[in-house]
Amino acid sequence: MTTPLLIDTDPGVDDALAILMAFAEPAVEIVGLTVAAGNVGLEHTVRNALRLVETVDRDVPVHPGCPAPILPPPASAAFVHGEDGFGDAGLPEPARRASTVHAVDAILDASRRHAGDLTLVCLGPLTNLAVALLIDPTLPSRVPRLVVMGGAVDGRGNTERIKAEFNIGFDPEAADVVFRRWPRFELVDWEATLAHGIPFERLEGWLAAPTPAARLMRAIAEKRHAWVRAHRSATHSHLADALAMAVVLEPALVAEAADRHVSVALVGEHTRGMTVVDWAGRTGLAANAWIARRIDQAGFERRIEGALIGR
Ligand code: RIB
Ligand code: CA
């Protein structure tokens, strides 16, 4: 029995690895990629999602979503992922075409088609999911599992608004809608990502594998690795979406977690887009997030290795 999995994504290099990890797992059936603007613009993220389903030669629909955050201006992570989101590696245009079904409609359709069974993972800004929730507030009742890559639970963000993590900071209003309307979701944040870096030496060994997945990742990751080495870590790659996908595929990898109420700051020069965790339970608000704090590193790395070398 396979689990239907819908992936909302803004590919992006780490999104690509996460999606390849999901395709490498036989226990899940990927029912679609719903695409958001985020790391780079929607035209690029849709094209990259098409490249991914071509790489693995799977007949999975790619649904273009919202082209911008609820409130402008859109941020960009092109300085990390390349102007095209895939390392400006000069990849050929994908032959496949995107679906004519909008991502928001695809999320609602999948929730009805797989009611009670669907796992939804969000690897980018939450714009598509927020709009789906506004259209149909009953959506969470049909989706037993939502995993969100986003936030920085102790305020160590990764954007110029230093307490904000990119996905939440790109569209704080969307995250606010999701965090207020989704009764309980799993959260894999930026600080967990920082705690689970992958040594470059090990990662580059896997990227040398003669597989389509490794070839694609080798091509698109080069620019990002150079940036990370120069600006973040000379030794480790921090792959947020891959970590979130490891939790999706193998929940038992979570070694330490905390149930807490998490909200999103919408205002403040230094705080807009920040995730605010009620660690001491002072608000009296029920926990809405199961926050993954520590993940089994060896199991996480096994998932990446398996996706790249085809084990
Ligand atoms: O902060 C990390 C997140 O922002 C990841 O999803 C990465 O792809 C970027 O979208
Ligand atoms: Ca992403």
SS3 assignment, position 133: helix
Q: Does ligand 1 lie within 6 Å of residue 15's CB atom?
A: yes
Does any ligand 1 atom lie closer than 6 A to the CB of residue 237?
no
Mutation pick for ligand 1 pocket among 15, 42, 79, 220 (CB with most ligand atoms within 8 Å): 15
pLDDT surpassing 70 at residue 59: yes
User: Does 256 score more than 90 pLDDT?
Assistant: yes
Ligand 1: centre distance to CA 89 (Å): 19
Ligand 1 in reach of 171 Cβ (< 6 A): no
User: Longest Cα pair distance anywhere in the chain, in angstroms?
Assistant: 54
Q: Does the CB atom of residue 148 touch ligand 1 within 6 A? A: no
Which is nearest to 175 in space by CA: 283, 262, 242, 107? 262
In the predicted structure, residue 242 carries a pLDDT above the cut 80: yes
Pocket flag, ligand 1, residue 158 (CB < 6 Å): yes
Of ligand 1's listed atoms, the one at least distance from the Cα of 38 is 10
CA distance 59 to 95: 13
- Between CA 38 and CA 262 the distance in angstroms is 22
Write down the pLDDT at residue 310.
86
* Percent residues over pLDDT 90 in the chain: 99
CB of 216 within 8 A of CB of 55? Answer: yes
Does position 223 have pLDDT exceeding 90, yes or no?
yes
Cα–Cα distance measured from residue 181 to residue 64, given in angstroms and rounded to the nearest whole number: 23
The mean pLDDT of 15-38, rounded to a whole number, is 98
Asked whether 119 lines ligand 1 (CB < 6 A), one says no
Question: What residues does 199 pair with on adjacent strands?
Answer: 236
Specify the residue with its C-alpha closest to ligand 1, atom 1. 166
Average the pLDDT over 263-280 and give the result.
Answer: 97
| pLDDT surpasses 90 at 268 | yes
User: How much is the average pLDDT of 122-149?
Assistant: 98
* CATH code for the structural domain at 3-309: 3.90.245.10
Q: Which residues pair with residue 29 across a beta bridge?
A: 4
Q: Which atom of ligand 1 is nearest to the CA of 165?
A: 1
Question: What's the 93 CA to ligand 1 centre distance in angstroms?
Answer: 24
Taking the CA of residue 159 as reference, the ligand 1 atom at the shortest distance is 1
Q: State which amino acid sits at residue 20.
A: L
| Mean pLDDT score, 64-68 | 98
Listed residue (28, 265, 53, 33) closest to 169, CA to CA: 265
Q: How far apart are CA 9 and CA 33, in angstroms?
A: 7
CB 165 less than 6 A from any atom of ligand 1: yes
Q: How many Å lie between the centroid of ligand 1 and the Cα of residue 203?
A: 19
Q: Is the CB of 190 under 6 A from ligand 1?
A: yes
Q: Is 41 in the pocket of ligand 1 (CB under 6 A)?
A: no
pLDDT at 6 (0 to 100) = 99
Average pLDDT, the chain: 97
